[in-house]
Structure 1
Amino acid sequence: MKELKITQTQEWIIDALLSLMKDKHYREITVSEIVSEAHIGRRTFYRYFKTKDDILLLYCHAIMQDLAHIILDKNNMTLYSVSLSYFECLNQYLDFLRLMQQSEMLYFIGDKLPEFMANVAVMTGHVMPNQIAATERRQDHYYYAFYFDIGGYWSITTLWLKKEPRETPEEMAKMIVEVIYKR
């Protein structure tokens, strides 16, 4: 998967949506409000996005690209290291995740998380793109195990987001290793 590049205009649009979400429920925000907040025209918005969901999708892909870079920087593909990278990355985006939670939009991420994490696996060289497609076609043991793992991570993530104070990324990674290996 090639490196995702976000233009300055796309950043303005993302920032505008996130700014509006601080005071307004996501479903109530209109494209007109987004373009006004971003100081761009409607035609410019539609040059980059078809819907406001596409803004969230692009931002989530950017977050997953950051996750891939964090994993690669550690140069260690152990369960602990990948779990630590996952929670370090999410910790950097807590404000966004809280906005999504406040707007009852966490499902948007959860529903797409298998796709996002498959892309992370490709970006980190853990699997090849053709392996993802072949596994999806076969829907074999690995396919179900992947969805099981992703579901577990996401469930833990939603619990972690609700906690105050919440565990550190290190504590979360350690807990995941303990749960997986002490079954």
Structure 2
Amino acid sequence: MQYKKSNNPSSIRSRKMIIDALLQLMEEKPYHKISIKELTDTAQLVRKTFYRNFKSKEDVLQEYITGLMNEVEQKFEEVDVLTPYIMAKLYFEFWQKHIDFLQLLQQNNLFIIVLKQLNDYTPVINSKYKAELMKGYDDKFLEYYTVFNTAGIWHMLEKWISLGVKETPEEMAQIYSDITLNNPHMRK
């Protein structure tokens, strides 16, 4: 987000109502056919309230995804040791619970919004959970390392959904771990 959102209870409640209304409408019709008026009517709010809290419909989705990513981070905080496998397992378990939302994004060609949010969020995760691992590397390397990993986990999530979520989160975590640790496991 490019501007600070109000944390007063009324504003928080209005944003939640708008998010809920957008998700409801996306289940009924394509995203590009949803107008701001229809969105505010569904949320039972006035347009002014929408524009006081959001710049666009995409901004609504970004706030929702940011909230989801904060939930993933809480899962990370509950674990003593975060290996690539454990992080990926928590990540895919979490997103599996939100598969309907991810499928809505995919159906509406909006999955790229997840990547945009990951691009903002991954540096925060890296500084909190991988700081020791990243010591000694220069800023340019870390910048490319971050975008490489971000795009990789995003593409894995997208592919997993496209293929019908056939693998378990544990299988996805093993694949991710093997890739990141350059340790492909052998299948019989």
Q: How does the TM-score come out when normalised to structure 1?
A: 0.83
Aligned partner of residue 28 in structure 2, secondary structure: coil
CA distance in structure 2 between the aligned counterparts of 1:126 and 1:141, rounded to whole angstroms: 14
> Is residue 148 of structure 1 aligned with residue 148 of structure 2?
yes
C-alpha distance in structure 1 between counterparts of 2:165 and 2:14, whole Å: 36
2:104 corresponds to: 99
1:166 is aligned with what amino acid?
K
**Structure 2 stretches lacking a partner, 5+ long:** 1-5
Q: 1:121 to 1:98 in 2, by over 3 A?
A: same
Aligned-residue sequence identity (percent) comes to 29
Q: Give the whole-Å Cα distance in 1 for the aligned partners of 2:44 and 2:86.
A: 41
Instruction: Find the structure with the greater CA-based Rg.
Output: 2
Task: State how far apart, in whole Å, the 2-side matches of 1:50 and 1:94 are.
Answer: 26
Partner of 1:85: 90
The change in CA–CA distance for 1:46 and 1:163 in structure 2 (over 3 A counts) is same
Residue number among 8, 11, 16 corresponding to 2:13 in the alignment:
8
Q: CA RMSD in A?
A: 2.5
Distance in 1, matches of 2:101 and 2:165, equals: 18
Q: Give the count of matched residue pairs.
A: 172
Once the two structures are TM-superposed, the CA of residue 125 in structure 1 deviates from its matched residue by: 5.2
Name structure 1 gaps, 5 residues minimum.
none
Give the TM-score taking structure 2 as reference length. Answer: 0.81
- 1:57 aligns to what? 62
Match of residue 171 from structure 1: 171
**Structure 2 CA distance, aligned partners of 1:74 and 1:167?**
23
Q: Deviations over 1:62-90 (max 9, x none)?
A: 01101110111122221111111111221
The letter for the 2-side match of 1:66 is E
